[in-house]
Structure 1
Amino acid sequence: MKTNKISIFYWVSTIVFALMMLADGLAGLAHEATGVAVMKHLGYPEYILTILGIAKILGALAIIQTKFDTLKEWAFAGFTINFIGACFSRLAIGDPAGELIAPLVALLILSVPYYAWKRYKAAKSYTPQLAVR
């Protein structure tokens, strides 16, 4: 894949994912009714929505920024932990298998901008060797 195509793929997938997490984070901060119901169903206190909402907003900002790679890596790790935790929370309370699909799909969606970022970094740092005659 050419560097320009990798760059476009990276930025589109990252911005789409960041917007999804920003919207989810804002819904958490607003204590949207569905989120409150899910947290109560899972046995978590309602204030966890505020904590997760702030974390998702900060994580979305972290994956968009281009200066601090370690911060971006930790943001991706945090989202991964969040989605795995959501899956196991549903599993732990005995929700049906269909309820496990959403966090697993979110984890799959997360892997796209992460993979794209790694490809983008590799493409940016690649310098072709000149042939020596």
Structure 2
Amino acid sequence: MSTQNKSEKTRKIIYWIFTLWMSLGMVSTAIVQLIKNKDELANFANLGYPAYLMSILGVWKLLGVTAILIPKRLLLKEWAYAGFFFVMSGAVISHLIVGDTASRTFPAVLLFALVIISWYFRPADRKISMTNY
């Protein structure tokens, strides 16, 4: 096996590990938000957000995970990653602004990092390039 093939295989393995981990995190937080879990309601209240935002974010997270995991639909994948980037960076910033502890902020930081790593390591067939148009 050539060095380039090993490198591509390694990148693909990294991509799938982090993408599945990110997807699991997004789906689990979406479910918690959609069922209006009392701890999540308290978290949203602490951050100064209305409870109805949980339903909006929960639905969008499920749709985003679907877009990222299905084959093709490259533009949709980019939009999903952008949405995850904004939601998770906003969550991290919100926790920092209200002075939350590291333990309350860490889940948002972890999901934000997973989004960035998944996006960065996505294989060529999951990236938009000028040849896709």
- What TM bracket, shorter-length normalisation? 0.7 to 0.9
Correspondence 1:102 to 2:104: no
- Aligned-residue CA RMSD in angstroms? 2.2
Structure-2 separation of matches of 1:50 and 1:99: 21
Distance in 1 separating the partners of 2:112 and 2:60: 16
Shift of 1:75: 0.8
- Alpha carbons of structure 1 residues 9 and 26: separation in structure 2 relative to 1, 3 Å: same
Q: TM-score, normalised by structure 1?
A: 0.78
Deviates more, 1:92-101 or 1:103-112: 92-101
3-state SS, counterpart of residue 50 of structure 2: coil
Q: d(CA) in 1 for partners of 2:8 and 2:80? A: 24
Cross-structure match for 1:131: none
CA distance in 2, matches of 1:108, 1:90: 15
Query: 1:20 matched to which residue of 2?
Result: 25
Give the 5 Å matches for 1:21-40.
21-40=26-45
Among 8, 14, 20, the residue aligned to 1:3: 8
Secondary structure, aligned partner of 1:95: coil
The answer to whether residue 71 in structure 2 is matched with residue 66 in structure 1 is yes
* Structure 1 unpaired stretches of 5+: 125-133
What corresponds to 1:128 in structure 2?
none
Q: 1:91 to 1:116 in 2, by over 3 A?
A: same
How far apart are 1:103 and its partner, in Å? 2.1
Q: How does 1:51-90 map to 2 (within 5 A)?
A: 51-90=56-95
- Which one has a bigger Cα radius of gyration? 1
Q: Which runs of 5+ in 2 are unaligned?
A: 1-5, 128-133
